[in-house]
A = this chain, B = another copy of it.
Amino acid sequence: MSNAKVLPLLEPDGQGVTPCCPPLTERPFTADEAETAARMFKALGDPVRLRLFSAVASHEGGEACVCDISDVGVSQPTVSHHLKKLKEAGLLTSERRGTWVYYRVEPSVLAAMGKLLTMAPTAA
């Protein structure tokens, strides 16, 4: 339940985060960069996880209780399993507050992923 090691794809640098990789269009990814970035994409590559992630991301305050988002057509253990995967991928963090566990999306992670898909500024 701890968030000790999260955001494996971004390194905090004081006033923001440094993305793991350049835009996909800037230069060919190295093996390491690809390994790192692929983890993120892979985490979002399952429909159930994508729905869970979207549910959290679009929820008020960028966070949601599991009970608020678990209506995605699979069993409760499966929901828990997918939330764990999203957490391991650095896309979500979690925190227990009393009876409920809240998952939160890190906006900077979203932004970094968006930049990955940006066209390189080639004299636009």
Which A residues fall within an 8 A CB radius of B? Answer: 24-31, 34-35, 37-39, 41-51, 53-55, 57-58, 62, 69, 72-73, 105, 107, 110-111, 113-114, 117-120
Given A58-B120, A110-B119, does the pair A24, B53 have CB atoms closer than 8 Å?
yes
Tally of this chain's copies: 2
Report the minimal beta-carbon distance from A89 to chain B, rounded to whole angstroms.
10
Contact of A114 among B43, B62, B118 (CB under 8 A): B118
Report the minimal beta-carbon distance from A121 to chain B, rounded to whole angstroms.
13
Q: Are A38 and B47 neighbours in the complex by a CB distance under 8 Å?
A: yes
Q: Considering the complex of A and B, which 4 residue pairs feature the smallest CB-CB distances, nearest first?
A: A42-B45, A114-B117, A41-B44, A34-B47
Contact of A29 among B41, B50, B120 (CB under 8 A): B50
Q: Are A50 and B37 neighbours in the complex by a CB distance under 8 Å?
A: yes
> Which residues of B are found within 8 Å of A30, using beta-carbon distances?
51
Question: What are 7 contact pairs spanning A and B, CB under 8 A?
Answer: A29-B50, A29-B55, A31-B47, A37-B50, A41-B42, A43-B45, A110-B118
